[in-house]
A and B are shown apart, each in its own frame.
Chain A
Amino acid sequence: AQSVTQLDSQVPVFEEAPVELRCNYSSSVSVYLFWYVQYPNQGLQLLLKYLSGSTLVKGINGFEAEFNKSQTSFHLRKPSVHISDTAEYFCAVSDTHLFFGTGTRLTVIP
C-alpha cells in the first residue's frame, strides 16, 4: 500500500532564506512522486514530479526535489523563498490514483 508522510505541518521562514519541506513515502512497487502547491482559495498546481531517471528534479518557481530511494524520501527545496511562495504544499505518491500527504503550510515572513 502507498502512503505519504509530511513531517512538518507548518514551516515559517524568512524571505530570501532557504527552505526544505520534508516528505517520506512508503510503497511496495515502483514509485512516481509529486509535489503540488495550493495557493489560498485555489486548486492544486503541479510543482514537479519524479517518474524515473535523475534523482534531482527541477520544477516551476525555482523549486527542486531529490528522490532518495534508500531513505524513501522526496524532500522539496528552494534556495531563496519569496513572499509569493506562501502556500500549502502537498507531497503525493501514485498508485491507481494519487495519495496525498497532509500538507505543509509554508509561511514566508517579510
Chain B
Amino acid sequence: DSGVTQTPKHLITATGQRVTLRCSPRSGDLSVYWYQQSLDQGLQFLIQYYNGEERAKGNILERFSAQQFPDLHSELNLSSLELGDSALYFCASSVETGYGYTFGSGTRLTVV
C-alpha cells in the first residue's frame, strides 16, 4: 500500500458519458498530480493541484477537469467520453515536486 488511494479500480462506461475518478493523497502530501497512461501516448501529465489550487497544467483536454478539496483529496472529471479516452489514470502525491511522487494503483477506464 503506497498510501495514495484511488477509486474505483476499474470503470466501464459508454461513449458520451461522464465519470469521476477519486484520489486521496498520502498523509502530509499537499500536491496531487494526475497522469494518463495509454499504449500509444505513454505517461502523460494532465494536471497538478497544490493545497487546493491549480499549480500546473499539461495535456489535459477541455472535456476533462479536476479539483482538490479542503481535505486534500482530488477528483478528476471526464466528460463526453470517447473510445480514445480508454486508459489507466494515475494519481500521485508529493510533499515537494523535486522529491519524487508516490503513485496510486490507478483507475482503469474502458469506454465502450
Interface residues of A (CB under 8 A from B): 32, 34, 36, 42-46, 49, 51, 90, 94-103
Contact = CB atoms under 8 A, between A and B. Distances in A.
Contacts of A49: 99-100
Contact of B48 (A32, A43, A51, A96): A96
Interface of B: 2, 4, 33, 35, 42-43, 45, 48, 55-56, 58, 90, 92, 97-106
Contact of A51 (B98, B104, B105): B98
Contact of B98 (A45, A94, A103): A94
Contacts of B43: 90, 100, 103
A43 B35 CA distance: 11
Contact of B56 (A46, A90, A97): A97
B88 to A, nearest CB: 9
Given A43-B105, A46-B102, A96 B42 contact: no
